[in-house]
Amino acid sequence: MADGADGGRSDGAGNGAAGDGVVDPTARVTYTGAGLDDDAPLWRGSPPAPLGLLERWYAEVAADGRVTEPGAVVLATVDDAGDPDARTVLLKGLDARGAVVYTNLGSAKARQLAAHPRAALVLPWQEVSRQVRLRGRVEPTTREESAAYFASRPRGSQVAAWASEQSRPVADRAELEARVTALEERFAGGDVPLPPGWGGLRVLVTEVELWAGRPSRLHDRARWTSRSGGPARLDDAGAWRLERLQP
């Protein structure tokens, strides 16, 4: 029910007043973070490329301490029926080329992106009243990039990547743990190689939005859209159109 709609009693399951249940529709958070007005150069002269502010925000959030997992990013995809799907993954790369996540290439998200190579990402930094949204096309990283990242992972995570057939059913946890034990024996005394069905996915960005929470819900929003309509380098100021959006 939309805010401001009829708030009458419910006679459906639960027979309670509208709003009864686990969600309190009257709950409010007052946003007090620094807004985009504090980044005055953003709105003066030639618009900057988005990468500099993206990197600055990420560094500030990572150093802040209130956000325990600054790289936690919601990845949205669509399936073959056109139905949306979303899950939280970890951002493992952000540079002029785009944003990178790594995954089992047989997972639901990877199969969806192979068939429909467009995605949206959200970095929801509620604790500091900030949010970043990215949209774009998706391509796989090179095998060399995937191998370099995989080699940096803790050994337990490397073994787990071999053990899990991600998104496939499993009888119980014991089955997974048995696979891990067998793989630890298999790779004992040596490096764990990159699994053949594991790698990175890069979002080649076509749209960037930065959101900063402000009092009374008069939030600040800045949106960059690619002038060509296709992916653009995030460090190329001339490739982007910058607008302030209403909250």
- Enzyme catalytic residues: 217
| Both tokens assigned to 74 | 């919601």
Report CA-CA distances (Å) from 204 to 35, 59, 201: 27, 21, 10
149 labelled as ligand-binding? yes
Sign of the Cα torsion 133, 136, 142, 143 reads positive
Torsional class of 115: left (φ above 0), alpha (ψ -120 to 50), beta (otherwise): alpha
Residue 107, annotated ligand binder?
A: no
| Rounded Cα–Cα distance for residues 75 and 233 (Å) | 20
To the question of whether residue 116 is assigned a binding role by annotation, the answer is: no
Q: In the chain, what are the helix, strand and coil shares in percent, each to the nearest 5? A: 30, 30, 40
Buried b (16+ CB within 10 A) or exposed e, 33-53: bebbeebeebeeeebbbbbeb
- Any known ligand binding at 211? yes
218 is in an annotated binding site: yes
Q: Is 89 annotated as a binding residue?
A: yes
Would you say 158 is a known binding-site residue? no
Q: Is 87 annotated as a binding residue?
A: yes
157 annotated binding-site participant: yes
- Summarize the annotated binding site as residue ranges: 87-92, 102-103, 109, 131, 149, 153, 157, 166-167, 211, 217-219, 221
- Summarize the annotated binding site for FMN as residue ranges: 87-92, 102-103, 109, 131, 166-167, 211, 221
- Summarize the annotated binding site for substrate as residue ranges: 92, 149, 153, 157, 217-219
